[in-house]
Every structure is written in structure tokens, then in C-alpha cells.
Structure 1
């Protein structure tokens, strides 16, 4: 599905396509109704075929939705799942550690 203004980042850095999402039904000749996640529920779920892109189904591409538990002051706790790589880049007078989480 083609990116739009309502998906968080605007202009140059906005994603060209977001998804993949399941097509619920074919509406008319060139329109499709798409199952959108709760995060973007404010966007109408019917799209013209020109805004959609073919996606080869691969079960490794499916993201599982886990709701975020918010505290009363509307904050939440972030924690790393695992460290994938470590690297240290050396500059002229100091070293900067990089960690891929």
C-alpha cells in the first residue's frame, strides 16, 4: 500500500509503501478493502488499485502486533530484546561504541 501523509513521517522521509496488509474484499472494478492495524485505524481502509503493490507471501514477513502497556501518565518502558552486533569506531581522540539491537 502506498505511503501517505497520515503515517507519521512527512515529505522526503515518508515511506513509499507500508504493509503488507491482507485484502479483505474486492470493491468495484479498481478498489480494494484492506485490513489495517489499530495503529492506523483512523485511515479509510479502501484503496484504489494504483495505491497497492503485489506482495509475495512469506510467513517471515508477517509482523505480530503486541499492544503496548501504558502507565497512567501515558509512558511506557522500552527494553532491548537482543544485541545483534557490536562495533567501535575510532575517531582522532576518542572511540564511539555502536550496538545493533
Structure 2
């Protein structure tokens, strides 16, 4: 689009996402294989906010008040 903005080709599942991004929001990916996050495991609400779902509790700590 210009020197400081890029228009990305997004998959159909992300058709409601604005496809133009400022360079400050993008990072280079230096990988041998294409880096892609599968969309099957991601859940978005109606406003396209990412909905996090915990998979596993890795550690816990109990604190007692004095």
C-alpha cells in the first residue's frame, strides 16, 4: 500500500478483519518452514476478539494470610 503500510491476503475465515496493517504491527518471520497458526483451534467472539481457553494448569501455589 505504501512505505509504512501493507495489505495482507487473509484467509476466508478472517474476512471480517481489516487487511491493511502499519509496519509497526508486523514482524519479520525468519523460519525455514512457513510459519502458520491453524485457525481450527482459535475461537473469536462476535467482535473478533480472541477468546482464550486454558488447556492445562501447569503449576499452582497456595498463599496463607498472616
Q: Identify the TM-score tier after normalising by the shorter chain.
A: 0.3 to 0.5
Q: Please, what TM-score do these two structures have when normalized by structure 2? A: 0.46
Q: Please, what TM-score do these two structures have when normalized by structure 1? A: 0.32
The structure carrying a bigger strand percent of its residues is: 1
Computing the radius of gyration over CA atoms, which structure comes out larger, 1 or 2? 1
RCO greater where, 1 or 2, for CA within 8 Å and sep 6 or more? 2
